[in-house]
């Protein structure tokens, strides 16, 4: 089975743990993306920061905590409070909100395993070198499907020859 390296996107924008949420949001908007690998000065992956993590940070503690409130549909007119919380969190370093233990894969991980991890943890998934822990790229739902589509085409071309 082909390694997930075949579906890896190598040219990825990264962010430093000390960058602020506001800086990350600007990168999201300019590049039309929803998440960023967070790497240290040695290019080691230390986390993933995405819109999902930001949205969770905006929730009231009573919802975000384990066994907390399961619905907020009773809270009418909450938009100003959410906006105030977003304004307050903008200067927070992404390291305080990011996922510090994201799912990762290695370049030689089998595509089946990449598919399994992505199905369970979502997309994108960071790719790091196994020995050095250096960040080398990402794999997304689309990059994985595109790689599978290319394989289908190769198989079909092989049958017609």
Contacts of residue 29, defined as CB under 8 A and 6 or more positions apart, other chains included, come to none
CATH architecture of 4-160: Roll (3.10)
Q: What's the rounded Cα separation, in Å, for the pair 41 and 19?
A: 12
Question: Whole-model pTM?
Answer: 0.82
Mean pLDDT of 25-30: 96
DSSP state of 71: -
What the block records as the tokens of 55 is 């949205």
pLDDT mean across residues, the chain: 86
pLDDT at 27: 97
């Amino acid at each position: 089975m082909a390694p997930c390296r075949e579906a890896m996107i190598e040219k990825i924008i990264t962010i430093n743990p000390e960058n602020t949420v506001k800086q990350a949001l600007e990168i999201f908007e300019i590049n039309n993306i929803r998440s960023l690998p967070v790497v240290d000065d040695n290019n080691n992956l230390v986390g993933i920061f995405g819109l999902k993590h930001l949205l969770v940070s905006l929730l009231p503690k009573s919802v975000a905590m384990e066994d907390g409130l399961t619905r907020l549909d009773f809270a009418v007119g909450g938009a100003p409070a959410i906006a105030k919380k977003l304004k307050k969190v903008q200067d927070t370093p992404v390291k305080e909100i990011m996922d510090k233990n994201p799912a990762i894969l290695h370049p030689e991980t089998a595509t089946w395993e990449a598919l399994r991890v992505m199905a369970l943890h979502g997309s994108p998934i960071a790719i790091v070198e196994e020995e050095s822990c250096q960040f080398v790229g990402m794999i997304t739902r689309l990059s994985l499907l595109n790689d599978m589509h290319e394989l289908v085409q190769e198989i079909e071309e092989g049958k017609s020859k």
